[in-house]
Chain A
């Protein structure tokens, strides 16, 4: 009796372990093969001129994605300038006053915003900015990206700030430090590692977005550093090149995809490193 029960348990255990292994394989195999495909096909496209030169006109072989790299940097920089203060500010507000009516409203809005498909964010910016300005622009593209970053930043900031023990806030108040200063200089600083993580993750998400850029930043065959002009970007370049009928462009799409993958990988690695701050996590 006992023995057969043991046997049954052992069999269940073995079956479950096997199923878990299968689940891991089902997850990992596509991921690894995808990474491998991008690396294998993209690496052959990479060269110095690929990184630094403009695209060649249709039909000509060669050229690069330099303007896309600069454009993505410009878009991310502007998106961060708009999105970080709003997103982190909202997160700090939610952590401090999140239980009141205003807090609940902000949280509700952030949740809705988090659920908005990126293409809809782009469409909204198209209606609000591109149409009135009669022009596609880097600013419009960054605004669309910022809209996507804000809810991620707000949630990430609120979560890490809420994890800071209330003891520390009270200790600061007990020193005769004003509430807002204690919140910002003690509580938020203690959570700085986690906030940096949220920033890196939000940037990584924004870096790969294509849909909202199609009708905001559009694209550009040339260099551009002006916020009020259309701007090339890596994701849009990949999209355009990948669907083109030209083998050379398709190869360049893989190269640009590899660049984007590296950028996102670096941002994710930075996100992990940030939580290992100078003193946080050390000691007891």
Chain B
């Protein structure tokens, strides 16, 4: 497999699990900057676990453990002096189910990360507008920023969550099956958005939908039973897989 030209996130010999159960086994890969990397694999293969190890969210689960190394721009994210909260400010996350804050307005949802982290109020409105524009939601909500976020459609809510994550200006955005709870039109809009966002930051997108991976990503990692089976340029992985298990999976023989 060809190595990425501009690696930004490095994963080395990463294993993780819950209690005596191993969900991720000795995974190593380098993720390319300003690109979309897709993580595919059958349900339960460890995709979410890998993603949540990258922004130190995995360790919050009951009995969770992590071994190995993750670096962002050369910084060891699991170093002894590293604050997990600071890591999450650099590596944002979007979840499977849209989860806007139900008691907050659209504007306050986008600004939540700024407000809670004590950013200056002065730039607040500008950053809200910028984030909503980046998330391709501005035109739809500009006239109702003070309304409840729950009044939006599912697809709009998900783009709101993307705007909320973008507002704190992370370097990397993790997305865990961001479109799997959405209808096809909303899914298409999120995919389009992912495509536009890679100019701005590095995206890592978990999906169980191979067509989606093929459409949105430049590189794809195939996980199977907690192990990284193959990692390559998306086109190469889908058209000319080197591993038998990859070929079986992408041709729909299992999973």
Please report A residues at the B interface, Cβ cutoff 8 Å. Answer: 165, 167-168, 170-179, 181-182, 185-186, 189-190, 192, 277-280, 282-284
Contact = CB atoms under 8 A, between A and B. Distances in A.
Contacts of A165: 99
Interface of B: 55, 57, 60, 85-90, 92-95, 97, 99, 101-105, 112-113, 116-117, 148-152, 154, 161, 164-165, 168, 170
Contact of A176 (B89, B105, B149, B151): B89
Contacts of A178: 85
11 contacts: A170-B60, A170-B93, A175-B88, A175-B116, A177-B113, A182-B116, A186-B116, A190-B103, A278-B148, A282-B150, A283-B150
Contacts of B152: 283
A282 B100 CA distance: 13
Contacts of B90: 176
B103 A176 contact: no
Given A176-B117, A282-B151, A171 B95 contact: yes
Contacts of B148: 278-279, 282-283
A250 to B, nearest CB: 49
A167 B96 CA distance: 10
B57 A174 contact: yes
Given A175-B88, A175-B89, A176-B85, A280 B102 contact: yes
A280 B103 CA distance: 6
A195 to B, nearest CB: 12
Given A172-B116, A174-B92, A175-B117, A277 B103 contact: yes
A222 B208 CA distance: 75
Contacts of A186: 101, 112, 116
A167 B98 CA distance: 9
Contacts of A190: 101-103
A284 B150 contact: yes
A179 B148 CA distance: 25
